[in-house]
Amino acid sequence: MYDDRDALEKLKEVLGGLDETKPDAEWSTELKARVLARSGGLRPATGRFRLNAARRIAALAAAFVFSSGGVVYAASGVMPDSPLYPLKRSLEKAALIVTSGHAETGLKRAFSARREAEARYLSKHEDAPGRSRARKAVDELHEKVPPPPVAGNGRVKKSKPVTDHEPKFPQRSRKPAKPGV
């Protein structure tokens, strides 16, 4: 009977001459460096850039907010008197959790503009039920975001400490205007 093992061993012996077929050492070293470099670019995030479970959820929420429809909805539609306002604020907080650096500063400035728009809205609708919520949001914002530097004479104006910064929330005048004045 024909024995495969025997034939295989013989063929291995003959093709054993191929063992001398090796890649050029210099080329092999170069390829190794390329492989390791490629791996460096694909390395999974570690340390502060690694998202834990809570941050992943926040990231998903932020992705939802900043997906095309979400931006328009969150930016223009929901005002403090809306029942959806707390959701909008939660999503903003989630977005701030998952961003850092320039992106975070940009978001804070965008949210600052929203607070301003909300303040304008409430000044026109003085009896709006969300007034206290909006005031809280503005106060939180001023605790977190330093005012942008003002370049009047070309120099960057030194900002005041954030605690001294007065909220620009429109105040209802307590004293009624004198008649005839």
Residues 54, 76: Cα–Cα separation, whole Å:
28
Please identify, using beta-carbon distances, which residue of 44 and 152 lies nearer to another protein: 44
* Residue 26 C-beta: closest distance to another protein, Å: 11
* Residue 9 C-beta: closest distance to another protein, Å: 10
Please identify, using beta-carbon distances, which residue of 23 and 176 lies nearer to another protein: 23
Contact by Cβ (8 Å): 44, 58:
no
List the beta bridge partners of residue 22. Answer: none
* Residue 15 C-beta: closest distance to another protein, Å: 5
CB atoms within 10 A of CB 90: 13
**Contacting residues toward another protein, per CB under 8 A:** 2, 4, 7-8, 11-12, 14-15, 17-19, 21-24, 27-28, 31-32, 34-36, 38-40, 42-44
Contact by Cβ (8 Å): 97, 90:
no
* Residue 30 C-beta: closest distance to another protein, Å: 9
Please identify, using beta-carbon distances, which residue of 31 and 162 lies nearer to another protein: 31
Looking at residue 151, the DSSP 8-state letter turns out to be B
Residues 138, 127: Cα–Cα separation, whole Å:
18
